[in-house]
Structure 1
Amino acid sequence: MRLFVAVIVLHIVISRAFELKNFTFGDHDYQSLQNILHESNKKCPEISQIYTLTEKSVEGRDLIVIEFTADRPGTHIAGKPEFKYVGNMHGNEVVSREVLLALVAYLCQGYQEKDPEVVWLLQNTRIHILPSMNPDGWELANSRPRKNGQKPWLDGRANAKNVDLNRNFPEVDKLEYKYEKLENGLNNHIMSLKKALSVPGLAPETRAVIKWLYSIPFVLSSNLHGGDLVANYPYDESRDDRQGSQYSASPDDHLFRHLAKSYSKHHPSMADPMRKPCDMSGDQGLPEFKDGITNGASWYSVSGGMQDFNYLATNCFEITLELGCDKFPYPEEEKQYWKDNKASLLNYMFQVHNGIKGVIQSDGKRIPNATIKVVKMPSGSPIKHDVLSGKQGDYYRLLLDGDYKVRVIAEGFHPEERCIAVANKHMQPAQVVNFDLIPSNEEKPNKQSMCVPTKQLDLSSGTEQKLQDSLYDRIYGDYVYNTNDNQWFNYLQRILQTATGN
């Protein structure tokens, strides 16, 4: 009888309990964009806050963010992950701008109407929405006349100084590719804020977002675009530019593929293999996107992109979403784009609760900048991308279902590790795994630890129920096996030897 291996297939049904009310679809200019944010904040003041990034656009427009959370908006709370959506990075790609404005109204309405999924999200997540990163580009694109029903392909894509914001971030990929060749090369936070801001040629919009990324401990994010229909994941830049487009996997490649599919599979046509591809005239041809996803560099190499900067310079995992073939559809078509993307937008936000989270401390004092390393079990293969604990000592590590060994390292303390089994569930917070470190000037107790891969546990039906319950409680009740109880340790070893035939 298999005691621990239980595969539960969850069909995630995103809320369809209510329709968006009192929201007018159409091309929202700078003033009407602000009006929607302020109206939502006025309707839902207890769960929202509006703020602007630290620098304005080239032409002096604010980069306005609205935040939603059910407890103390404006405050980071340890244990509550931070999520963000960024739209309209290319000013002429307006679908993202419009669906994010609709999402703003939807979250406010859903909380007021006590929709269970919206309420759960806001109670357990801090959500930030920047509907337009390039308001100047939108103004230029909107001013251009249509020809044969289409706006010009490039007008308004860049900012007011003709800078493509998605090619304007510090180029961290090449730096990381150099570190990969070193045995203990840096694999995270590879650029300080000071260094990032010192890179020449940064647009004010780019500088504003960089400072934003370093000021809030974001865990998961997406930037939304238009011109194709696909979910794109890191890395965006090829490891060898001489070879052109090539698959450039990150250490979290399997996780990123899952994140991309969590969006594409909830979209009515993004993952449809029979859909007609976009006509990318004069662009990169007509690629085929299996499951509606693509590795960025495999599609075409991008240097200075925002998604890779998020992943390599901060703790934030980000993907890029292309929401449709038409960059600037007619206003009357925008409602359908919202309907097509609503379920995906909501489902993607739930992914911020996958994996593990916790607090790193010592004798009650929180420890920032501790390094959290993860090893896959039973293979023992490290995921060569660490995350760091934040100012409050809290950390968040997105992970797929499976067995892992988690090791925490902090200067001035003995390293500590835990063996965990991750089993992600919809509308359930990430598993809590806290660490209490011992100062390095104190003797560390001699602990024996052993990771127990769930798939290796296949106990015979003759095993006593009491033993089964005890094993389950020790391994799954706390999701941790790390003990100095030698009797228990030897007992478990004998069971495993019997179960595996060793």
Structure 2
Amino acid sequence: MTRSRLIVIVFLISLSDWCFSQYVSNIELLRKIVSESGQAEVAIPEPGRPELDKISQSFSISSVRNDEVRIKLSPFDIDRFIDLRFEFRIIERPGAKGIISRQPLEKVMEWEGYPSYSQYESIMRHYASEYPSICVLDTIGTSIMGRAILVLKISDNCREDEPEPEVFYTSTMHGDETAGFVLMLRLAGYLLENYSSDDRIRKIADNLEIWINPLANPDGTYRDGDYIVSPVRNNAAGYDLNRNFPDPWYPGVIRQKETIDMMRFLTARRFALSANFHSGEEVVNYPWDRWPYDHADKDWFYSISRAWADTVHLHSEKGYMDFLDNGVTNGYSWYTVYGGRQDYVTYQLSGREITVELDTIDFTPEDRLSDLWEYNYRSMLNYIENALYGIHGFVRDAVTGDPVAAMIYINRHDIDNSQVFADSATGFFTRFLEPGAWDLSFIADGYHGTTITDVQVSDFQTTYLEVKINPVLNIADTISRIQPYFYPNPAAGFVKVVLPDYLHGNLNVKIYNSSGMIISDFDDKTISGFPLSLDIRMLVKGSYFVVFRNKATGRTGTGRFIKN
């Protein structure tokens, strides 16, 4: 062996040892960061789509850009990441160094800093007490650590459920993505403070029900106590809440308390329009995140997303929100998200939700918050106003005038749960569509289907419909009864009740559970030949006892049904 070849071999061995030593050093540093900060962000080379999808199933991807995949690692998945021996580099958190100042509440409400958690609660209570006629404070649920997940409802009759579109803004389900938290607080204040003096704001609040949840993951944001010091993406149990919602084709993970509470809230409200605020990039993301094919209303989704970014560009510094398609992307085209909230709302609940990424820095420095507000607040208002447009209407029983929870379906257009539903309590519905002529079909159990053709939709206009659909007469409804007759029984969604003649007219209905507790007490009006329909979807499984009382005569009838 020549001397030169020996030197090369020794050099290569030394280089290999150095590389391995450097890799071990990086792992030690990675573990140290996760131990001290609760998480770390790493970048790995982009491996191609099939492998990227597999990585997305195992780890929490925060972005894909410049041929790199960025991953947030927590104490719960760092060992699994290391075992896979990815080539990686550690990403420093530029926003996390000394940006939190402890300021009095009055200074915090100038919106150039972050509140403590107790100040956040005070601000939310202040809004509700200062503007009681148009604002009410509610709770979606609580976090694992017992912190309230607060939400404000802003509307002209805020203590009533009116038949009008509901809009939901929510932020910071990733606890370290903090810009939206402050922007949502500021937006709520802006709406409330300007309601009496600004015709535009008054129109929004008078015709919509606006719900604002500034902080969806308080345990992640305030992991260190009352002040934001070192926030993390995940909840206190180490789960990414935006990978924790039901996915039709992916089993997902153990559902977290915050997710369960949010799902219950979303299911009860059935928002017509919503947006979910994040940071890490600057882009507006529309469905689907999970699938490579288009949503039926892709053009409408793109239009409202494009409008957000284009409006931002008129009022922001050069280079802000120009990622991907100049600030807009289809979710799947960027990277796959399994168990995301955007697709859950849009697919499972037939809602319409986008995701707005506000800042390339997750943990936005305080001195940048005012800039982000100036860039985005007009788009926030414009987006809410989308709920004023499209097709608004009511679906009612043609005989009784009662509301009907009909499905509103567009043939040869709707796919993958893109249809919408009328509200069971009021019959109200909203359908957002691109301009054009549309044929809408109205379908409900126990009713003849009805189609209304050539319904015109125009930009920034509202089309109103009053739809009456005819019930299908059931033979069971025509049989004379001595006592109330329930069918189907057992039932899961709705149970119909054929009443004897002496109970027709103005009626009081009380439903008792098996413990004898009244769980529902309401008045209704019935006529002979048409059964009373009871919506039992929200009841837990079990046996129920029902008392019907004719309010004019005082006569009563009783019966039982089983919810399965």
Same fold (TM over 0.5): yes
Q: 2:129 corresponds to which residue? A: 42
> Which residue of structure 2 aligns with residue 67 of structure 1?
153
Identify the residue that residue 410 of structure 2 maps to in structure 1: 374
1:199-255 alpha-carbon deviations (Å, 9 max, x no partner): 8611111011100011112100000000100000111013xxxxxxxx431122111
| C-alpha distance in structure 2 between counterparts of 1:277 and 1:257, whole Å | 15
Match status 1:103 vs 2:187: yes
Does 1:121 find its partner at 2:121? no
The answer to which structure, 1 or 2, has the higher relative contact order (CA under 8 A, 6+ apart) is 1
Distance in 2 separating the partners of 1:40 and 1:276: 31
Deviation at 1:315, TM superposition (A): 3.0
* Residue in structure 2 matched with residue 27 of structure 1 by the alignment: 114
Q: Please give the per-residue CA displacement for 1:156-203, whole angstroms capped at 9, x wherever unaligned.
A: 10001110000000113x38xxxxxxxxxxxxxxxxxxxx9xx86111
CA distance in 1 between counterparts of 2:224 and 2:353 reads 26
* Aligned residue identity for 1:220: L
Does residue 421 of structure 2 align to residue 388 of structure 1?
A: yes
Q: From the superposition, tell whether residues 316 and 141 of structure 1 become closer, same or farther in structure 2 (CA, over 3 Å).
A: farther
- After superposing on structure 2, the runs of 4+ consecutive aligned residues of structure 1 that deviate more than 4 Å are 141-145, 269-272
* Superposition deviation, residue 355 in structure 1: 1.5
Give matches, 1:84-483, under 5 Å: 84-112=168-196, 114-140=197-223, 156-172=232-248, 174=249, 201-238=254-291, 247-268=292-313, 275=319, 288-362=323-397, 363-375=399-411, 381-384=412-415, 385-391=418-424, 392-426=426-460, 430-441=462-473
Helix, strand or coil for the counterpart of 1:202? coil
Is the contact made by 1:248 and 1:295 (CA closer than 8 Å) also made in structure 2?
no
Distance apart, 1:295 and its partner CA: 0.6
2:437 and 2:457 in contact (8 A); partners too: no
Go from structure 1 to structure 2 and tell me whether the alpha carbon gap of 1:276 and 1:36 turns closer, same or farther (over 3 Å shift). closer
How has the CA–CA distance of structure 1 residues 277 and 209 changed in structure 2, closer, same or farther, with 3 Å as cutoff?
closer
Deviation at 1:22, TM superposition (A): 6.1
On the 8 A contact 1:230/1:270 being kept in 2, the answer is no
Q: How far off is 1:425 after superposition?
A: 4.8
* In 2: Cα distance, 1:217 partner to 1:229 partner: 28
Amino acid of the residue matched to residue 100 of structure 1?
M
Which residue number in structure 1 is paired with residue 81 of structure 2?
Answer: none
**TM-score (normalised: structure 2):** 0.61
Structure 1 counterpart SS, 2:471: coil
Distance 1:122 1:420 in 2: 31
User: Deviations 1:385-443 (Å, cap 9, x if unpaired)?
Assistant: 211111221111111111100111111111111123434454x5x3111211112239x
Contact in 2 for aligned 1:40/1:105 (Cα 8 Å): yes
Gaps of 5+ in 2: 1-107, 475-564
* AA at the equivalent of 1:212: F
**Which amino acid is 1:275 matched to?**
G
State the SS of the aligned residue for 2:393: strand
Distance 1:323 1:365, change over 3 A: same
Letter in 2 for 1:65: V
Point out the more displaced range, 354-363 or 93-102. 354-363
- Give distance in 2, aligned partners of 1:333 and 1:233: 25
Amino acid corresponding to residue 23 of structure 1 in structure 2: E
Residues 200, 156 of structure 1: alpha-carbon distance in 2 compared, 3 angstrom cutoff: closer
Q: The residue matched to 2:313 in structure 1 has which SS?
A: coil
Contact 1:25 1:335 in 2 (8 A): yes
Q: CA deviation at 1:291?
A: 3.7
- Contact 1:236 1:248 survives alignment (8 Å): no
Asked if structure 1 preserves the Cα contact closer than 8 Å seen for 2:221 and 2:228, the reply is: no
Aligned to 1:56: 142
8 A Cα contact 2:436 2:458, kept in partner: no
* Counterparts of 2:151 and 2:133, CA distance in 1: 16
Which secondary structure state, in structure 1, belongs to the residue aligned with residue 336 of structure 2?
A: coil
**How many matched pairs?**
363
| CA shift for structure 1 position 358 | 1.1
Report SS of the residue matched to 2:367. Answer: helix
1:261 shift after superposition: 1.6
SS for the counterpart of 1:218 is coil
Query: How far apart are residue 270 of structure 1 and its match?
Result: 9.8
- Aligned partner of 2:558 in structure 1 is none
CA spacing shift, 1:276–1:84, aligned 2, 3 Å: closer
Change (3 A) 1:423 1:291: farther
1:117 CA displacement: 1.0
How far is 1:265 from its partner?
1.6
- Distance (Å, rounded) in 2 between the aligned partners of 1:131 and 1:111: 20
Q: Distance in 2 between matches of 1:308 and 1:201?
A: 18
Q: Extract unaligned runs of 5+ from structure 1.
A: 1-20, 146-150, 176-195, 239-246, 279-287, 376-380, 443-502
- In 1, the alpha carbon distance for the partners of 2:404 and 2:113 equals 45
- Tell me if the contact between 1:264 and 1:270 (Cα under 8 Å) persists in the aligned partners: no
The answer to whether the 8 Å contact 1:37/1:50 transfers is yes
Aligned residue in 1 for 2:4: none
**Is this contact kept in 2: 1:91–1:141, CA < 8 A?**
no
How many angstroms apart in 2 are the aligned matches of 1:271 and 1:386? 36
TM, length-normalised to structure 1: 0.68
How many angstroms apart in 2 are the aligned matches of 1:370 and 1:271?
44
**Given the superposition, is the C-alpha separation of residues 409 and 290 from structure 1 closer, same or farther in structure 2, using an over 3 Å criterion?**
same
Higher strand share: 2
| Percent identical | 27
